[in-house]
Amino acid sequence: MTILSIVKHPADILETKCQPVKQFDSKLKRLVRDMQETMIQADGVGLAAPQIGKDMRLAIVDIEDEHGLIVLINPELLSSEGSQTDIEGCLSFPDLYGEVTRPNGIKIKAQNVKGQFYTFEADGFLARAILHEMDHLDGVLFTSKVEKYIPAEELKGADEE
């Protein structure tokens, strides 16, 4: 496995609407594994393909709960409900944290690494992490949604996505 380098803001790829994934081959499987290694090494809870320089609608999330690794390929938001406001960070913005309001509950449709479609429901922090990654695939950065920045020294050990 390979640790990939994480693209930091500013970079055009981070503000690009990414292209759908069409090839579900061994290369894709390997990329997902490398992204997982990279995310773990960076102590993140999510990583999107543009953050490692790839123009692909692919992201992974793992908040270390019972769901384990969630692979989001060509994800679509089917429905959402409620709202939650909490602190977010991003691996592409080291030491930057802010409060972001997002839906509290979501239902999504996506493909797995084999190309099989699945639907998935999440709420709370997991929904937040998934929505943060899905935004990356549209070139939308959390800084465009921050309502209030929080000084990093107040947030030792916050999760980054």
User: Least Å distance between CB 15 and Zn ion?
Assistant: 12
Rule CB under 5 A: choose which of 54, 111, 131, 161 binds Zn ion: 161
Interface residue with Zn ion, options 56, 61, 90, 131 (CB under 5 A): 90
Q: How far apart are the C-alpha atoms of 37 and 91, rounded to whole Å?
A: 14
Q: Which is nearer to Zn ion, 103 or 140 (CB)?
A: 140
Name residue, tokens 């081959």.
25
Instruction: Please say whether the beta carbons of 76 and 108 come within 8 A.
Output: yes
Task: Please indicate whether residue 133 is annotated as part of the active site.
Answer: yes
Q: How far apart are CA 122 and CA 117, in angstroms?
A: 17
DSSP state of 122: E
Question: Considering the complex, what minimum distance in angstroms separates the CB of residue 60 from Zn ion?
Answer: 12
Please give the Cα distance from 145 to 161 (Å, whole number).
14
> Taking contact as CB under 5 A, which single stretch among the options 21-29, 85-93, 95-103, 111-119 is the one that binds Zn ion?
85-93
Query: Contact at 8 Å (CB) between 52 and 36?
Result: no
Residue type, position 144, single letter: S
**Contacting range for Zn ion; rule: CB under 5 A; set: 17-25, 86-94, 110-118, 151-159:** 86-94
137 lines the binding site for Zn ion (CB under 5 A): no
Residues near Zn ion, by CB under 5 A: 90, 161
The set of catalytic residues is: 133
